[in-house]
């Protein structure tokens, strides 16, 4: 059969592209290596609960067109992400806001909170500036040069974080969580990983500032199914295996173009080297006799000694009151080839390598690379949809 597009990957980017192409009369064959549709936003019903199988996915956007678009495939509820952080026996509201600061320091007003944070930042930065100036002076004496450090320059993530929010917030709510995510001590992580740490001086636990947010009633999988209802779909097949099987047919299927949403380095068979990622491991527990395990959808564990970063209780995404519950513990993991890549490590070395792969991709006339893996960048769901819609418009008008 002759197709206009072979879409590799039935996640959000591939599904949006195929859906819009089909609306314009294009014939698409969509394949996915997993046995299901939806990529990482896949949800599955258990105990009447839509379980987010690859981690919590909370839709939020400031893009009205994207919000209207996704609401054409499902009705969204009014869920607001208000996570809780657990540090030892202490509970804190996230994001960092007046509820957090009141619990930390026993204060009530924004002025008091600002004073606490600024005092801690100033104390830390002045101490480090003094140390850096001393080291620079000693180095200048040894080298015969003149001058010493006049300004504070963070040399690692710990210094960067404390200079932004002070020592208390860093110690209790940033340090352990970040070290678990990256598998390294914060002193060994580059400062650029944290460019800013939002601090809000209001009593507002809404994690996102976007005006549009929620969870689709009935889960995300139905959205992808509706998007692909006018496309041919094959699941449980790897891209290279598919090409080999197709080539062996008496009458192979043909494709004018390929939309590839898998890892770009894998597409080129790692000829320039492998890009690096962080991975995740999920430990799901079904609790048919437990109606309410933790009282909140998302609870972060910020001590490094606790091996998981968070526990998700899925029923709270849809305000369910039914019997039983399902929880998922989320563990960060070092990525190895063959594991599922989740978070690109966009440091200088990896970005340079990606640019080399991107240069190869730009020479491809019949391949479109898209999505988190195809473009080696972290995308929120709304940004994935926006990127796919923009690509379709560039491609098909």
Distance of CA 265 to CAs 137, 257, 277, 346, Å?
Answer: 46, 19, 12, 14
The whole-angstrom separation of Cα 238 and Cα 280 is: 21
Catalytic residue among 330, 342, 357, 376: 330
**Active-site residue, 196 included:** yes
Angle between helices 110-143 and 98-105 (to 10 degrees): 80
The whole-angstrom separation of Cα 157 and Cα 159 is: 5
Residue of 20, 17, 16, 56 whose CA lies nearest to 40 = 56
Q: Are strands 28-32 and 2-8 parallel, antiparallel or unpaired?
A: parallel
Percent helix, strand, coil in the chain, to 5, is 40, 20, 40
Write phi, then psi, for 49 (nearest 5 degrees).
-115, 135
**Active-site residue, 329 included:** no
Catalytic residue among 278, 304, 308, 331: 278
The whole-angstrom separation of Cα 8 and Cα 14 is: 7
Write phi, then psi, for 70 (nearest 5 degrees).
-70, -30
Is 186:164 a contact under the CB 8 Å cutoff?
Answer: no
**Active-site residue, 240 included:** no
Catalytic residue among 196, 250, 269, 305: 196
**Active-site residue, 310 included:** yes
Catalytic residue among 13, 159, 179, 310: 310
Residues 6+ apart with CB under 8 A from 257: 4, 5, 6, 366, 367, 368
Q: Is 221 helix (H, G, I), strand (E, B) or coil?
A: helix
**Active-site residue, 330 included:** yes
Can you give the C-alpha Rg of the chain in angstroms? 24
The residues that bridge with 29 in the sheet, in sequence order, are 6, 232
Catalytic residue among 65, 281, 291, 378: 378
Catalytic residue among 20, 79, 158, 200: 200
For residue 138, count CB atoms less than 10 angstroms from its CB and return exposed for 0-12, middle for 13-18, buried for 19 or more: exposed
Catalytic residue set:
196, 200, 278, 310, 330, 378, 380
């Amino acid at each position: 059969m002759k197709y206009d597009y072979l879409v590799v990957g039935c996640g959000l980017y591939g599904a949006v592209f195929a859906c819009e192409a089909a609306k314009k009369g294009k014939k698409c064959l969509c394949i996915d290596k997993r046995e299901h549709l939806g990529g990482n936003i896949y949800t599955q019903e258990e105990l009447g609960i839509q379980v987010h199988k690859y981690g919590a996915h909370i839709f939020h956007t400031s893009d009205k067109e994207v919000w209207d678009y996704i609401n054409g495939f499902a009705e969204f509820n009014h869920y607001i992400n208000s996570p809780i952080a657990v540090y030892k026996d202490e509970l804190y509201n996230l994001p960092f806001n007046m509820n957090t600061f009141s619990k930390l320091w026993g204060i009530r007003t924004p002025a008091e909170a600002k004073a606490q944070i600024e005092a801690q930042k100033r104390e830390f930065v002045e101490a480090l500036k003094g140390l850096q100036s001393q080291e620079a002076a000693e180095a200048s004496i040894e080298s015969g040069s003149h001058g010493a450090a006049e300004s504070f320059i963070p040399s690692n993530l710990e210094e960067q974080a404390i200079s932004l929010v002070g020592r208390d917030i860093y110690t209790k709510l940033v340090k352990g969580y970040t070290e678990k995510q990256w598998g390294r001590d914060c002193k060994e992580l580059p400062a650029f990983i944290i460019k800013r740490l939002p601090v809000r001086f209001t009593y507002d636990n809404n994690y996102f500032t976007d005006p549009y947010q929620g969870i689709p009633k009935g889960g995300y999988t139905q959205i992808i199914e509706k998007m692909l209802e006018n496309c041919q779909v094959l699941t449980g097949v790897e891209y290279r295996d598919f090409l080999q099987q197709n080539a062996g047919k008496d009458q192979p299927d043909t494709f004018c173009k390929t939309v590839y949403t898998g890892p770009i380095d894998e597409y080129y068979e790692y000829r320039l080297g492998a890009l690096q990622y962080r991975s995740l491991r999920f430990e799901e527990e079904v609790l048919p006799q437990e109606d309410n395990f933790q009282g909140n959808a998302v609870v972060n564990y910020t001590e490094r000694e606790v091996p998981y970063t968070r526990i998700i209780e899925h029923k709270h995404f849809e305000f369910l009151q039914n019997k039983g519950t399902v929880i998922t513990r989320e563990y960060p993991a070092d990525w190895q080839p063959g594991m599922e890549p989740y978070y690109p490590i966009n440091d200088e070395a990896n970005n340079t390598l990606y640019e080399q792969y991107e240069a190869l991709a730009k020479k491809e006339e019949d391949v479109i690379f898209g999505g988190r893996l195809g473009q080696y960048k972290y995308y929120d769901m709304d940004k994935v949809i926006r990127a796919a819609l923009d690509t379709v418009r560039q491609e098909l008008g």
